Amino acid sequence: MFSGLGNEEIKEPDRVASGQTDLKALFAEYGEGTNRLATTVIRYLEDPKKKIWSKVFKRGLTFYSPDRVFVYVDFQRNGLRFTLFTGGKSLKPVTPIEYERSGEKWNHLRS
């Protein structure tokens, strides 16, 4: 069905696209505790050498590699909520998502 389409390498996008929220604006909407947790997550996960980048969206961040987005980090009033790609593997601290098609591969974790 898609045999005529080539495989394109996923590259790091522009940090802030038109109309997109930047990290400073996102931090301005949340408290110090949430921002401190988010800063730690960014330092821990983002690594251009390993081709892992982050992208800011209205309520948080996504982290992705050339293969896929693997975690969504939603900012909450008193912490962060992670939606993790687990590939269907059961991990103790995470809760399966109750969605019909993605629930077996994506899970939630709150900080």
Cβ–Cβ under 8 Å, residues 41 and 71: no
Q: Which helix (H) or strand (E) holds 37?
A: helix 32-45
- Domain segments of the chain as ranges: 23-110
Rounded to 5, what percent of the chain is helix, strand, coil? Answer: 20, 30, 50
Write out pLDDT tens, residues 13-68. 544 444 456 889 999 999 999 999 999 999 998 888 888 888 898 889 999 988 88
Local structure of residue 58 (DSSP, 8 states): T
Q: What is the pLDDT of residue 42?
A: 92
Residue 11 has pLDDT above 70, yes or no: no
pLDDT of 5:
47
How confident is the model at residue 18, as a pLDDT? Answer: 42
Task: Please report the pLDDT score of residue 87 as a whole number.
Answer: 75
Average pLDDT of span 61-76: 87
